[in-house]
C-alpha cells in the first residue's frame, strides 16, 4: 500500500509560562506527522526535547531520512528497526496506529488489547516559582485531586510548605527534574514525606542516581529522565519504585506498551507522562494511562489553545479520545 507522508511544525502558546528546574518556555513546538492512504488519514504528534538533544529541525530530518521506507508501506514493526527511540519515531508510530484504525474501522485501543477505555484522572502541573507564587497557583488549583509540583533544589521545602498550605487536600507528586543532589537527598525526601507527597520524580541526575539504592525511600521514587525504553528498566531496579513512561522517550505507543508490560512484571508502578503538547499527543498516551497508578497527561490544560477536535477534560478527568482526534 502506497503512503503519502507530510510533516508540519506547529506552535501552540502556553497559558502563561511553563517553568521547571532547567528553564522556562511560553509555547509548545511540536512536529506532526500525517500519513495518507487513499481517503484514510492518520496523525501523530511529538514534542522534541532539548534535554535529549532533539529539536524540531533534527526530528524533521530524522523522519525525512526514512521517508522512502514509510511511503513504500513500512509498518510499525519495521519502524522500530529503522529509527531509535525518541520523538521522531513517536510521531510516525502514533500516525501508523491512527492510520490503521482509520483503514480498518477498528479502534486503536482494541488493537492494543484493551476491551474498553475508562476516563482518567490526571495530575495538574504547577510550575516552579517562589513560595508565594506557588501557594497562589496551588490555591487556584486546590479543587483538583492530584497536583504535580515542579521543584528546583534550594528552597524546595518552603515551596512544598506553600503548596500544601494552598491545596491542603490534594494528593501531591513532586518532580525535581534532576535538580537535587546527594548531600541533600535524604532531607528532601523526608520533607516530602512530612508534607504528604505521594511520589517523587527523578530527584537525582540520570546516570548519577546510584545513591537511591543505598538510602531509605520513605515515599516511592519514580524514574523519568533515567527511564526511556524497555531496555533501560533493568538498571533501575533497586533504585526506583516507579517509571514514568512517555511516548516521546519510548519512541511511540508500540514500545510504550511493551515497556509498561515489562515494568509491571518487574514490580514497578507505572506513571503515564507527557511533554507539553496537544490532545493529539495525549490521546495515544491515554492507553498507557489505563495501566498506570499515576497519570500525568495534562498538556492541553497548560495551553492557551488546544487543537480541535481535542480531548474533553472535566476538571482533571480526561475522557477517552474520540476517533476524530486519534485512533
25 catalytic residue (yes or no): no
Residue 245, phi-psi category: left (phi > 0), alpha (psi -120 to 50), beta (remainder): beta
- Choose the catalytic residue: 148, 246, 249, 305: 246
Interatomic CA distance for residues 240 and 139, integer angstroms? 31
Assigned C-alpha cell, 12: 501552540
- The x, y and z cell numbers of residue 265, run together, are 512484571
Q: Is 246 a catalytic residue?
A: yes
Task: Quote the cell numbers at residue 278.
Answer: 496537544
Place of cell 511520589: 199
Helices 156-166 and 131-140, axial angle in degrees (round to 10):
30
Q: Which of 140, 150, 249, 305 is catalytic?
A: 150
- What strands lie across the sheet with 171-175, from one edge to the other? 124-126, 146-150, 171-175, 197-201, 221-223, 242-245, 269-272, 294-295
Q: Any bridge partners for residue 126, and if so which?
A: 149
- Rounded to 5 degrees, what angle do the CA atoms 31, 6, 26 make? 20
d(CA 160, CA 149): 8
Long-range contacts of 133-140 (CB under 8 A, 24+ apart): 134/159, 134/162, 134/163, 134/166, 135/162, 135/163, 135/165, 135/166, 136/166, 137/163, 137/166, 138/162, 138/163, 138/164, 138/165, 138/166, 138/167, 138/170, 139/166, 139/167
* Catalytic positions: 150, 246
Amino acid at each position: 500500500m502506497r503512503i503519502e507522508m507530510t510533516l508540519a511544525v506547529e506552535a501552540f502558546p502556553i497559558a502563561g509560562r511553563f517553568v521547571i528546574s532547567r528553564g522556562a518556555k511560553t509555547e509548545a513546538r511540536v512536529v506532526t506527522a500525517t500519513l495518507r492512504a487513499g481517503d484514510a488519514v492518520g496523525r501523530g504528534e511529538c514534542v522534541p526535547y532539548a534535554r535529549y538533544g532533539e529539536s524540531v529541525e533534527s526530528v524533521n530530518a530524522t523522519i525525512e531520512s526514512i521517508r522512502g521506507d514509510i511511503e513504500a508501506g513500512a509498518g510499525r514493526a519495521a519502524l522500530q528497526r529503522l529509527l531509535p527511540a525518541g520523538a521522531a519515531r513517536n510521531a510516525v508510530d502514533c500516525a501508523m496506529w491512527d492510520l490503521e484504525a482509520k483503514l480498518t474501522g477498528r479502534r486503536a485501543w482494541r488493537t492494543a488489547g484493551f476491551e474498553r477505555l475508562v476516563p482518567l484522572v490526571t495530575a495538574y502541573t504547577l510550575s516552579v516559582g517562589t513560595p508565594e507564587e506557588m501557594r497562589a497557583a496551588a490555591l487556584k488549583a486546590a479543587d483538583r485531586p492530584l497536583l504535580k509540583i515542579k521543584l528546583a533544589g534550594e528552597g524546595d521545602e518552603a515551596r512544598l510548605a506553600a503548596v500544601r498550605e494552598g491545596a491542603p487536600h490534594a494528593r501531591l507528586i513532586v518532580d525535581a527534574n534532576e535538580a537535587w543532589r546527594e548531600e541533600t537527598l535524604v532531607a528532601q525526601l523526608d520533607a516530602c514525606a512530612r508534607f504528604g507527597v505521594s511520589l517523587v520524580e527523578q530527584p537525582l541526575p540520570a546516570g548519577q542516581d546510584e545513591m537511591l539504592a543505598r538510602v531509605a525511600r520513605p515515599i516511592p521514587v519514580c524514574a523519568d529522565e533515567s527511564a526511556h525504553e524497555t531496555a533501560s528498566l533493568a538498571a533501575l531496579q533497586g533504585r526506583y519504585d516507579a517509571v514514568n513512561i512517555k511516548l516521546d522517550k519510548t519512541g511511540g505507543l508500540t514500545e510504550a506498551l511493551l515497556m509498561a508490560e515489562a515494568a509491571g512484571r518487574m514490580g514497578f508502578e507505572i506513571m503515564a507522562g507527557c511533554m507539553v503538547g496537544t490532545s493529539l499527543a495525549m490521546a495515544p498516551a491515554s492507553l498507557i494511562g489505563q495501566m498506570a497508578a499515576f497519570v500525568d497527561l495534562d498538556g492541553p490544560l497548560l495551553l492557551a489553545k488546544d487543537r480541535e477536535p481535542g480531548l474533553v477534560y472535566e476538571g482533571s478527568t480526561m475522557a477517552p479520545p474520540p476517533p476524530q482526534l486519534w485512533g
